Amino acid sequence: MPRYRFEFLDEPGVEPVFLELENVEAAKAEAQKAMAETMVERLTDDRDTKLATRIYDEAGYLVARVDFQNVTEVHEVTQKSGKTG
């Protein structure tokens, strides 16, 4: 399985995380899940809600960027279209 590196742009001092996942889509889904959990903490603590995660492949190439704004937009579109997940 490919190995992906996750870097947290708006989390100073947080080390990159390395995960073996099936593909880029699985890596994006993992980043979105982690971002949602982090946002709950930030909203509860009344902290800045700006978040972004960069995902790199094993060769070091940037393969995706997940921003909180994009995660919420995807959720809204999914709800409006009647899809779940």
Convert the pLDDT of each residue in 23-44 to its tens digit: 999 999 999 888 888 777 766 6
Quick one: tokens of 72?
Answer: 């919420």
Residue 49's pLDDT is 58
Q: Report domain extents, the chain.
A: 3-81
Residue 22's pLDDT is 96
Q: Is there a contact between 27 and 55 (Cβ–Cβ < 8 Å)?
A: yes
Look up the pTM and report it.
0.63
Q: Quote the CA–CA distance of 6 and 27 in Å, as a whole number.
A: 9
Convert the pLDDT of each residue in 49-85 to its tens digit: 577 788 899 999 999 888 876 654 544 434 444 544 4
Residue 76's pLDDT is 42
Could you tell me the end-to-end alpha-carbon distance of the chain, in angstroms, rounded to an integer?
24
Buried/exposed code over 67-77 (b: 16+ C-beta within 10 A; e: otherwise): bbeebeeeeee
